[in-house]
Amino acid sequence: MPSFTASLAGFVLRTTGYYRRMFTGGPQFQQNIIKVRAAPAPRPIAKGGVDVRQSEFQGRNVWHIAPKDKAPSAHILFWHGGGYVYSATDIHWKFLSHMASQHGWSITAPLYPLAPESSAEAITAWASAYYAAYQADINGAPFVMGGDSAGGGLTAALAQMARDGGQTLPAGLLLICPWLDLDPAHPDQLKTEPRDGILTISGIAEGGSLYAGDLPLTDPRCSPIFGNWDGLPPILAFAGGDDILVTDSRALKAKVPSVDLTELAGMMHDWPIFSFSESRKAQAAMAGFAARAVA
């Protein structure tokens, strides 16, 4: 059973619809995108023994978060979630700052282009170009690449593209409640949707269509579950039973049995990046995975 705090958070989110409004399709969807984009963008804060630095790549902001007074335990390239239409949130920055301060991660988090202004072909091309620049920036050191939700999908797509392009691969992949199939057609998603306090089927269907643009939904750059997973580095993945994207993680485990997947019943979408007791345990597991990968 989920902890009281996790259960309460799921209940409050379902009741208030705070996030579900942002991720519900229909006439208001693109208006909600515009409204959220108009607000000041959250940004990481340098406190608690963490250094924060900002750079740019091809006109986009890139944030670097690292421990202030110690050598990093691992280099992490992290792609944020947000349905490919929203930028990183305070929750993302708090999670990444915690991983830097408590587990010694040196994290780079690019703010990649978003739909509907951009789409999967251009977004993955930008991310692939940054992937190469990032490796040069860390002087070829081993690193782990990861992301949550849409960022998890982008992580998987980029790893497949890097392998196919003969580029150096990460030492490990971290997929947090990843969005691997843009088409929410699995029958179990209908059963899970009433319990999901963040996502809706209509929202991910419309957001996925905006992201895909002119590409078919089954193109691996859009839905990496349909890509080739052979020859990729070790994968640590997390999923929640009250998340409509849980079917994507289950499909991945069925396709790649070697994936180390933790699925917790009753847990909401993206639960590993929050501060529940279950989240902190997952974060410690991430830290261990990264340390072993880059050793």
CATH numbers and ranges of domains, the chain: 4-294 (3.40.50.1820)
pTM (predicted TM-score): 0.97
**Is 104 within 8 Å of 73 (Cβ atoms)?**
yes
Average pLDDT over residues 28-50: 90
pLDDT of residue 49: 87
DSSP 173-241: EEEES----S----HHHHHHGGG-SS--HHHHHHHHHHHHTTS-TTSTTT-GGGS--TTPPPEEEEEEE
Residue 249 CA, distance from chain mean position: 13
DSSP letter assigned to residue 115: T
pLDDT of residue 287: 98
Q: Is residue 47 very low, low, confident or very high in pLDDT (cuts 50, 70, 90)? A: confident
Q: Which of 131, 105, 112 is nearest to 49 (CA)?
A: 105
**Cα–Cα distance measured from residue 68 to residue 165, given in angstroms and rounded to the nearest whole number:** 35
Query: Is residue 173 scored above 90 in pLDDT?
Result: yes
- Beta-bridge partner residues of 238: 176, 262
pLDDT of residue 224: 98
**Cα–Cα distance measured from residue 123 to residue 229, given in angstroms and rounded to the nearest whole number:** 21
**Cα–Cα distance measured from residue 117 to residue 52, given in angstroms and rounded to the nearest whole number:** 28
pLDDT of residue 48: 80
Degrees to nearest 5, angle at CA 62 with 43 and 161 = 130
Q: Is residue 18 very low, low, confident or very high in pLDDT (cuts 50, 70, 90)? A: confident
Question: How high does pLDDT run on average in the chain?
Answer: 96
What Å distances lie between residue 184 and 100, 103, 208, 229, CA to CA? Answer: 34, 35, 9, 21
**Is 154 within 8 Å of 250 (Cβ atoms)?**
no
* 50-98: pLDDT as tens digits: 999 999 999 999 999 999 988 999 999 999 999 999 999 999 999 999 9
Q: Which of 108, 228, 208, 112 is nearest to 159 (CA)?
A: 228
**Cα–Cα distance measured from residue 208 to residue 119, given in angstroms and rounded to the nearest whole number:** 10
* 241-260: pLDDT as tens digits: 999 999 999 999 999 999 99
